[in-house]
Amino acid sequence: MALELSNINELLELAISGDRRSLSRLMTKIAESPQIPKFHSESSWTLGVTGPPGAGKSTLIGQMVKHWVTAGESVAVLALDPTSPISGGSFLADRIRMEGDDLGETVFVRSIASGNIPGGISPYIWSMCQALSLCGWTRIVVETVGTGQSEFRIAALVDRLLLVDGPDRGDIIQAEKAGILELADVIAINKSDLPRAVSSAQSIRTSLALSGDDSREVLLVSALEGVGVEKLISTIESCEPRSERNEMIMRERLISEWDSLLVTHSEIDEIIAKLCIGSITVNEAIQILSSSIVQSGE
C-alpha cells in the first residue's frame, strides 16, 4: 500500500511537470487505488454537466471546450458513461461528440465507465479533479448522466453545476428530477434549433417561479449550431457558487467516502452472512464495521 501511494505521488510530480503519459497513468492509478489519494488543490475550478441521456451534454461541452481553448484555458474533461449491467462492458461515446478537428495539447479527455468501482465512483472523481487542478488544468468538466444515486453524488461534488435538458423533456425534469433542478446553478435547454425548445424552457421557468424568488436564468442554446454558447459560458463563469453549495459538497463527500469505505470493507461479506443467519443484529454489524473503519482511517 505504502509503495502504491508513493508511486501515485511520483506520477503526480511527473504529471505536474507536464508529462502527459504520467497524467494519464495517474488518472488510472487513482481509479484503481484501494485507498483514495487525498489530493488538495487551492484553486480548482470544476463544473459538473448533467442531464438526461441524449440531451446534448457532450456536444455542448465540445463547444465550450473550443471556446475556452481559444481564450487560453486548458481544459480537462472527465466523461462518465454507464457500465452495462449485463456484460460488464461499456461503450464510452461522449468523446466522439467532443472531438473537434483540432483538440490538441490544451485539452485532456478521459472516458470513465461509471460502474466499475465498488462503492461508487464519486470519491475517485473528486480526487481526479484535484489532481488535474494541481497539474495546471484551469477548467475541469465532469459529464454525467443525470440518473441514479451515484450520479447525483457527483453533481454535488463540483463547484458549479450545469443542467442540460432537451426540448420535450421539461416535464420529465419536473416530474422526476426535481432534486437535480434544485442543485443546478445554471440551466440550459439545448437544441434550440428544434421547435419545441422554447416551450420546454418556458415550462422550466414556470416551475422555478413556483418556488419563489428564484433568480436563475433558463438559457436556450444550440450545441449543434453553436448558438447561445457565449452567453452560457459567461453565465457559468460569473456564477458565484451559492453558499449552501459548500455545505452540500462536504456532506456528499462525507457520505460517498463513507459508503465506499463500507462497501470495500474486508469483512463486509462475512458480516452480511452473519446477518442472514441471524447470529448478529444490524446494530451489532454497524458497531463492528464502524469501529474497524475508524481504526483503519487513522
Partner 1 sequence: MRVVIAKPGLDGHDRGAKVIARALRDGGHDVIYTGLRKTPSDIVRIVNDEDAEVLGLSTLSGAHDSLIPKICNHLREAGLGNVIVFAGGIIPERDLELLYKSGVRAVFGPGTPTSDVLDFLEEALLRKQNKHPIGVGDDLGWHWN
Residue span 152-171 as binding mask against partner 1, x where in contact by CB under 8 A, dash where not: --------------------
Q: Cell 504529471 belongs to which residue?
A: 15
Contact flag: residue 145 with ligand GTP (CB under 6 A):
yes
In 3D, which of 71, 72, 74, 61 has the Cα closest to residue 136?
A: 74
Q: Please answer whether residues 180 and 163 qualify as being in contact, where contact means their C-beta atoms are separated by less than 8 angstroms.
A: yes
194 makes contact with ligand GTP (CB under 6 A):
yes
Select 88 or 179, whichever has its Cβ closest to partner 1. 88
- Per DSSP, the three-state class of 109 is strand
Closest approach, Cβ 78 to ligand GTP, in A, equals 13
Q: Which is nearer to ligand GTP, 194 or 262 (CB)?
A: 194
Give the range of 54-62, 159-167, 176-184, 204-212 binding Mg ion by CB under 5 A. Answer: 54-62
Work out which of 49, 66, 94, 166 binds Mg ion, going by CB under 5 A: 94
Torsion of CA 291, 293, 296, 298, to 10 degrees: -80
Does the protein bind partner 1 through residue 250 (CB under 8 A)?
Answer: no
- Residue 223 binds which of partner 1, Mg ion, ligand GTP, none (CB < 5-8 A, kind-dependent): ligand GTP
- Which of 12, 50, 83, 97 contacts ligand GTP by CB under 6 A? 97
Half-sphere exposure of 99 (CA within 13 A, CB side): 6
Beta strand pairing status for 75-81 and 107-113? parallel
Count of positions on this chain that bind ligand GTP (CB under 6 A)? 18
Decide if 138 contacts 73 (C-beta within 8 A).
yes
Using CA atoms of 126, 152, 172, 89 in order, give the dihedral in degrees to the nearest 10. 80
Residues within the interface to partner 1 (CB under 8 A): 20-21, 24-25, 27-28, 83-84, 86-93, 95-96, 99, 103, 108-111, 113, 116
